[in-house]
Copies of this chain bind each other. A is one copy, B any other.
Amino acid sequence: MLGTVLHAPGDIRCDKVEDPTIQKPTDAVIKLSASCVCGSDLWPYRGLQPVKGPQHMGHEYCGVVVEVGSEVKTIRPGQFVVGSFVISDNTCPHCRNGFQSSCEHREFMTGAQAPYARIPLADGTLVATGTIPSDDLIPSLLAASDVLGTGWYAADAARVRPGCTAVVVGDGAVGLMGVLAAKQLGAERIIAMSRHKARQELALEYGATDIVTGRGDAGVAQMKELTAGVGADSVLECVGTQESMMQAINCARPGGSIGFVGVPHGVELDGQMLFFQQKNLLGGPAPVRRFLPHLIDLIMSRRINPGKVFDLEVPLADVAQGYKAMDQRSAIKTLLRM
């Protein structure tokens, strides 16, 4: 089959790759209904993360099960499934504690920018929808696989509670999903930090009550003004740079919480600064599996529409165009049609 392969920074192609097959008795093979490009795919694409040889890209997926291994018990061919970008057994102590992204048998999904994919630990990783969803729900279900689940985790880790004030640092797809999650979790005030008109509009549609356009200290000052100098109860950090991390920490009130989901690149935090800031910090790869049943339910009942975050659709063959648009920030997130 044809799949997406990153050969070197900037060099992404739709190439011939091996057809996925059952390799372990706990595997499933699925036919993807759609796939997409993640903000984290841009790190190696931009050369900010090493590329050691050709990589079969893609970790966001949903689709129909075509085959399962002999030990797969709950997932069956013909089901429509959504899975996390982190493979997990969903039975180990960390999974039972709700941190499936630190599963003792964790693997990071790859090779999902393709028509078919092998999913290890299928019973633990995949969640089946009750019925086959209609086509217009595919983008939203695909979003649940990572970008929505990650934004949701940011809000959860930032302890968004009914009535609270939340700030979202980062107006990429994850940040916008963070706005949606904060709204669903009951935040009364949601301050989105963005200076791109199209993204501001989507943030407002997803539930943002205020937009702050400043960055760094200027952004913090604008945000503080909106909260009578107190700071936010919850801050969702959805970028991963030193500047964005400090912006997030400085936006929270003492005792407030920062959920950080932007993979940190070059971030160093001074212990004494963290001590005197006195703020909760929790980050990491999102345990999407924990949230999937609820997210699927919200999508299938059309209470949320995370699929709107895809503002560019290209056929898989044109994947290079999809990466380029996201790299240049002319697209928020690219959906790949099979």
Chain B residues near A266 (CB-CB < 8 A): 271
- Do A284 and B280 form a contact, CB below 8 Å, given A268-B268, A271-B245, A271-B264? no
Per-position 1/0 for A157-199, Cβ under 8 A of B: 0000000000000000000000000000000000000000000
Copies in the complex: 2
Does any Cβ of B come within 8 Å of A99's Cβ?
Answer: yes
A228 to chain B, nearest CB (A): 8
Complex partner residue of A264 from B94, B275, B279, CB under 8 angstroms: B275
Complex partner residue of A230 from B94, B267, B270, B274, CB under 8 angstroms: B94
Does any Cβ of B come within 8 Å of A253's Cβ?
Answer: yes
Per-position 1/0 for A86-101, Cβ under 8 A of B: 0000000110011101
Q: How many residues of A contact B (CB 8 A)?
A: 39
Give the nearest-CB partner of A283 in chain B: B275
Does any Cβ of B come within 8 Å of A4's Cβ?
Answer: no
Q: Are A285 and B276 in contact (CB under 8 A)?
A: yes
Q: Are B284 and A253 in contact (CB under 8 A)?
A: no
Q: Are B284 and A276 in contact (CB under 8 A)?
A: yes
A43 to chain B, nearest CB (A): 12
Does any Cβ of B come within 8 Å of A263's Cβ?
Answer: yes
Give the nearest-CB partner of A233 in chain B: B97
Does any Cβ of B come within 8 Å of A329's Cβ?
Answer: no
Per-position 1/0 for A58-94, Cβ under 8 A of B: 0000000000000000000000000000000000011
Give the nearest-CB partner of A270 in chain B: B268
Q: Within residues 255 to 276 of chain A, which ones have a CB less than 8 A from any CB in chain B?
A: 255, 260, 263-272, 274-276
Q: Are B270 and A267 in contact (CB under 8 A)?
A: yes
Chain B residues near A98 (CB-CB < 8 A): 255
Complex partner residue of A269 from B94, B242, B269, B276, CB under 8 angstroms: B269
Q: Are A264 and B254 in contact (CB under 8 A)?
A: no
In the assembly, what is the distance between CA of A287 and CA of B277, in Å? 13
Beyond A278-B285, A280-B281, 11 additional contacts (C-beta under 8 Å) are A94-B254, A98-B255, A99-B253, A264-B270, A267-B271, A268-B269, A268-B271, A274-B283, A276-B285, A278-B284, A281-B281
